[in-house]
Every structure is written in structure tokens, then in C-alpha cells.
């Protein structure tokens, strides 16, 4: 088997246990043909040789928690990420409204009231002042709160008499009128149901247009969590796959309302191919830290009546697991607060005892942010994957201490404790909640600091830092195992898919801070060089 082309004169780290670093990798069609020294380059003509000039080659990165359609559409909407005040956010909304036809919805998101000066939730009146002729709906950074104006509330028929839906919360002023903030999906849905959805063609176009921006991060696989337009997004992905235009490998986690139809149709976790596969069913236990809706045992600091929002009760969760697990569909459970995580683990333990062979793919807890110490070993014992987002830890540590308290916060983002207790860790970003970026994820995991160095000198709860090798496994090899695909990807070995990230330098040769100076110079997906940085030349 003669290779099609060869990458040589680099440092090829396979992440396979016991394997040395190589100089070259040969590629045949969409597979790795061979690994070896620079003599591999002699097997192809000069025009099919790519000189790495000392660059590092790793397996392609996997982001294990992405809302891809939301990310793709957000790129075309109002981006409020990075705003430092409500006034700055409002100016961006004003500009978007100026360009839009009268009456058209203004959509977007990314605002974070916890970093604004002054801090605090905004109001509908603020939006009314800059956007009186358009209905407006703007997701918060954590996607657990929706900021809307009076026109949007009017179209949705939401007013003082509208009760809080189960699992949701409508923030109200002293008179009982909605302030314009709707917390958690049951409340957000009151408005979102009247927002015109994107067409099938718009979904396809937005998704396809977003692929190059992901390749620029060395990402070749994502675990995609279907949200608002779940069925339409899954259909769009299948259409792109049919056309040969699907630019990422995806494990798609089903929305809860897709569970019963999937069971009736005989759909099981793992259905698909190396490009598009069905994962588990996403079940929300609670909300988020930023919106103070994560479900806690004890109230939030300074809010004696607030222990968060229960989106799914223990009884409801048992019902969902009773439907999913025996029918070959794994559970993927969103749990942020300590009470939510306890309930998720309790229900999984009970269900797995009843159905010990019902493990299509490992069950997962998404986020696992705040854990009681006694619950940490249960992840390993039950075989429940901890799907975590290291950048959340460094973004959120001030909020942890403000809202959960320093003492209780010791159990937050306990990555090393989970790993040492036998849990499988996988990393993601929760994009568009946080920006894509495996290198930033690695740095947050191994340094527990932000890029500006805070908190210094040793990072936030440095006892939870991981080694670089542990962090890379959580970004490459472990995600492949969790999706049942360790035989075809996750490490660089002959016969496996030629999915690779090419970095500007060897990240093993230097301190953690060297990650901040490293760039993605290339991405190989299915044997094709789909991204080459201008910095590579």
C-alpha cells in the first residue's frame, strides 16, 4: 500500500500507551498508513511531501460538548460576548436593529451580567429604549436565561398573570410584571415558540459555513447537543453527510422530546458511521451557576430562599431512564449543583442495578460542576463519564466563591479528584457558552488559571490540576472511547482515521504557559489537509 502523501520532519505524538514520538506519518486515503522516521517521505514523490519543520502532530481534538447549530447561527446574529456593561450590549443591539427591516426579530446572545459594571440582570425597558420596533430575544452567556423586550413578551402573551412554568422562572418587578428575563428552557420557551425558526436550507447553509472556523482550532470531532431545532438540525446534518459536505465527525445527543419517537423507531445509541452517530438523550436536572438556577442542597450565599431550579424531578428522571436504558439509548444528564448531581447519580445507580447490561455507550453527567465529596467516587464505581469544561472553572471561580461560598466551592470542578477516583474525564467547551479552543481548555486544566495569570501564583484550587498527558487524553483518546470509536480514532496508529491537529510547537517541551503561545498551524480530517494557517506559509 503506497501512501498518498507524507508529513515528515516533525514530532508525532500518538497518545497511544507506550508509543514513542515519531518524525513522520504516512497517509493513504482517509487512514494512517504508517508512522516512522523521515525515511517515510521517500515513499512518495517530492510534491506529496509536507515538511513539518519541527511542528507537533497530535490526534485531532474532540470537543465533547458543543451546541453546533446555535454556534453556527450565532455567527450570523448579534454577538454580545465580551461586553462589559449593559450599555455596551445595548449599543450592539441598536446597531443590529438599525440594519434590520421593521418588525424583524433581533436574535443573539452571549451577555453575562456577572461581569458587567454594574452587575445585575438587565430589563425589557432597556431593550425597549433602543429597539422599539423589533421583538428581541437574546440568550445569556450560559444559555440559561433569555433577555427579551416588551414587544417579544406581547407577541408571546406573557404578562403579570402568566405563571412560572414547571422548571422555569419568570423574573418579575415589584408590581409582578415580567422584567424581561426568563430563566431556564420552560420559561424561555414561552417566547422562543413564537420566534420564526430557521428554514432547513438556512440550517444547512449556516452549519456548512461554520466548519472552517472549527478546523482552525484543530478540532475534527464534536459531541453535538441538539437544542431548539433538534430534528431539523439532525436532518440538516444527514443531508450534508449525503452530499459529502459534513465537515466534522459528530456524535449527536438527542433532545428529550426526541426520546419517545426514537424508541418507537428502534433507534439506538451508536447508530451511524464514522461521520455521524447517535449518542444518548440529554436530560436537564437543573440550571446554571451564572443564572443562579443550579440545584443546591443549601441556599445561594445571600439568597436564603434560593436553592436553584428543579427542571427534572427524581421521579421524572427515573421514568426517562426506564424508557431509555432498556431500549438501548444512553443517558446524558445535565447536572451543575450538588443536589442535581446527587439525584442524577442516585437515579443512574438504581437504573443500572435494574438493567445491568443496558450500556449502549457509557452514561454521562454533563458539567458535574459542584460535587459533594461522597459523590466523587460514585462516577468511577458506576462507570458514569464526567463530561467537564475546564474553561468554565477558570471563567467561573469568582462566581463560585460569590454564590456558593469558598468552603462549599472546594468541591467545584474537581477534575483530578474525579480522575483519581476512577472516573473517565472528557473535555469540552459548551460552545457557544465558551469559545472553541482546545489549547485554552488544556491550559485551564493543567494550570487552573486564566490567560492573564489569575488567580496566581498556583491557580484556583491547584490540587485539582491535571498533567498535560491527562488533559490530552481527555481531549482525544477518552472521547473516542466514550463514543465507542477507540478502534478508529483518538490515537495515531496505522489503520486509524487520519484526523490530526498540527501545532506550531511541541507543547510537552516547556511550562504550561507555553500553551498560550502555541498556535494551530494545520488540521487533517479524513486524510485531507482542510486547514493550513497563514503562519505556516
**Enclosing H/E stretch for 412:** none
Q: State the chain's mean pLDDT as an integer.
A: 96
User: Which three-class secondary structure state does DSSP give residue 13?
Assistant: coil
For the chain, the distance separating the N- and C-terminal CA atoms, rounded to the nearest angstrom, is 30
Gap between the Cα atoms of 262 and 340, Å rounded = 26
Report how far Cα 503 is from the mean position of its chain's Cα atoms: 22
Q: Closest Cα partner for 405 from 353, 472, 337?
A: 337
Strands 56-59 and 11-12: parallel
Model pTM score: 0.93
Gap between the Cα atoms of 10 and 2, Å rounded = 21
Inter-residue contact 50 to 8 (CB < 8 Å): yes
Backbone φ and ψ for 152, nearest 5 degrees, come out as -65, -40
**Enclosing H/E stretch for 5:** strand 5-8
Grid coordinates of 239: 443531508
Q: Closest Cα partner for 259 from 231, 229, 228, 224?
A: 231
Stretch among 56-60, 167-171, 224-228 having the lowest mean pLDDT:
224-228
> What is the pLDDT, as a whole number, of residue 119?
87
Grid coordinates of 337: 449543583
Q: Is the pLDDT of residue 230 over 80?
A: no
> What is the pLDDT, as a whole number, of residue 142?
87
Residues 73-125 pLDDT 10s? 999 999 999 999 999 999 999 999 999 998 999 999 999 999 999 989 999 99
CA atoms in the 13 A half-sphere facing the CB of 314: 12
Q: Enter the DSSP assignment of 493.
A: -
Residues 49-72 pLDDT 10s? 999 999 999 999 999 999 999 999
Which alpha helices (H) appear in 243-362, and where do they start and end?
259-265, 314-324, 338-354
Q: Is the pLDDT of residue 240 over 80?
A: yes
Under the phi-then-psi rule, with left for phi > 0, alpha for psi from -120 to 50, and beta for the rest, what region is 359?
beta
Core vs surface per residue 445-467: b (16+ CB within 10 A) or e = bbbbbbeeeeeeeebbbeebbbe
Three-class secondary structure assignment of 333-370: EEECCHHHHHHHHHHHHHHHHHCCCCCCCCCEEEECCE
Amino acid at each position: 500500500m503506497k501512501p498518498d502523501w507524507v508529513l515528515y520532519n516533525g514530532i508525532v505524538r500518538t497518545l497511544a500507551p507506550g508509543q514513542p514520538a515519531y518524525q513522520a506519518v504516512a497517509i493513504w486515503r482517509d487512514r494512517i498508513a504508517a508512522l516512522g522516521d523521515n525515511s517515510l517521505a521517500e515513499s512518495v514523490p517530492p510534491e506529496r511531501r509536507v515538511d513539518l519543520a519541527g511542528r507537533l502532530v497530535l490526534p485531532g481534538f474532540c470537543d465533547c460538548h458543543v451546541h453546533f447549530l446555535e454556534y453556527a447561527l450565532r455567527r450570523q446574529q448579534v454577538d454580545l460576548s465580551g461586553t462589559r456593561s449593559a450599555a455596551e450590549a445595548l449599543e450592539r443591539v441598536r446597531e443590529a436593529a438599525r440594519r434590520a427591516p421593521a418588525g424583524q426579530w433581533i436574535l443573539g446572545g452571549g451577555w453575562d451580567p456577572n461581569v458587567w459594571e454594574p452587575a445585575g440582570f438587565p430589563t425589557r425597558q432597556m431593550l425597549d429604549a433602543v429597539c422599539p420596533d423589533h421583538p428581541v430575544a437574546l440568550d445569556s452567556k450560559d444559555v440559561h436565561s433569555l433577555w427579551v423586550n416588551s414587544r417579544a413578551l406581547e407577541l408571546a402573551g406573557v404578562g403579570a398573570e402568566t405563571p412560572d412554568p414547571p422548571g422555569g422562572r419568570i423574573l418579575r418587578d415589584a408590581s409582578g410584571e415580567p422584567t424581561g428575563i426568563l430563566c431556564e428552557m420552560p420559561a424561555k420557551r414561552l417566547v422562543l415558540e413564537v420566534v420564526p425558526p430557521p428554514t432547513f436550507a438556512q440550517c444547512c447553509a449556516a452549519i456548512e459555513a461554520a466548519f472552517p472556523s472549527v478546523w482552525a482550532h484543530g478540532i475534527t470531532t464534536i459531541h453535538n447537543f441538539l437544542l431548539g431545532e433538534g430534528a431539523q438540525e439532525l436532518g440538516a446534518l444527514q443531508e450534508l453527510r449525503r452530499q459529502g459536505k459534513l465537515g466534522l465527525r459528530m456524535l449527536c445527543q438527542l433532545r428529550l422530546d426526541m426520546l419517545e419517537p426514537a424508541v418507537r423507531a428502534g433507534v439506538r445509541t451508536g447508530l451511524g458511521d464514522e461521520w455521524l452517530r447517535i449518542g444518548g438523550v440529554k436530560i436537564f436536572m437543573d440550571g446554571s451557576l451564572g443564572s443562579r438556577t443550579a440545584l443546591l442542597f443549601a441556599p445561594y450565599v445571600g439568597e436564603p430562599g434560593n436553592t436553584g431550579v428543579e427542571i427534572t424531578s427524581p421521579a421524572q428522571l427515573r421514568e426517562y431512564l426506564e424508557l431509555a436504558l432498556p431500549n438501548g439509548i444512553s443517558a446524558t444528564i445535565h447536572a451543575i449543583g450538588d443536589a442535581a448531581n446527587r439525584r442524577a447519580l442516585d437515579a443512574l445507580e438504581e437504573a443500572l442495578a435494574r438493567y445491568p447490561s443496558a450500556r449502549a455507550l457509557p452514561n454521562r453527567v454533563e458539567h458535574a460542576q459542584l460535587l459533594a465529596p461522597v459523590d466523587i467516587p460514585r462516577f468511577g464505581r458506576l462507570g458514569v463519564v464526567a463530561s467537564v469544561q475546564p474553561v468554565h472553572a477558570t471563567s467561573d471561580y469568582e462566581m463560585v466563591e460569590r454564590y456558593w461560598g469558598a468552603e462549599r466551592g472546594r468541591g467545584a470542578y474537581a477534575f483530578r479528584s474525579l480522575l483519581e477516583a476512577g472516573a473517565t474525564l472528557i473535555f469540552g467547551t459548551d460552545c457557544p457558552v465558551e469559545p472553541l479552543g482546545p489549547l485554552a481548555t488544556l491550559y485551564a486544566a493543567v494550570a487552573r488559571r486564566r490567560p492573564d495569570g489569575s488567580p496566581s501564583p498556583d491557580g484556583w484550587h491547584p490540587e485539582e490540576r491535571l498533567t498535560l498527558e491527562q488533559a490530552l487524553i481527555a481531549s482525544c483518546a477518552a472521547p473516542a472511547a466514550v463514543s465507542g470509536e477507540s478502534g478508529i480514532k483518538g490515537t495515531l496508529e496505522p489503520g486509524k482515521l487520519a484526523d490530526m491537529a498540527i501545532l506550531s510547537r511541541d507543547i510537552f517541551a516547556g511550562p504550561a504557559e507555553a500553551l498560550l503561545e502555541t498556535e494551530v498551524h494545520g488540521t487533517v480530517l479524513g486524510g485531507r489537509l482542510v486547514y493550513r494557517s497563514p503562519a505556516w506559509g
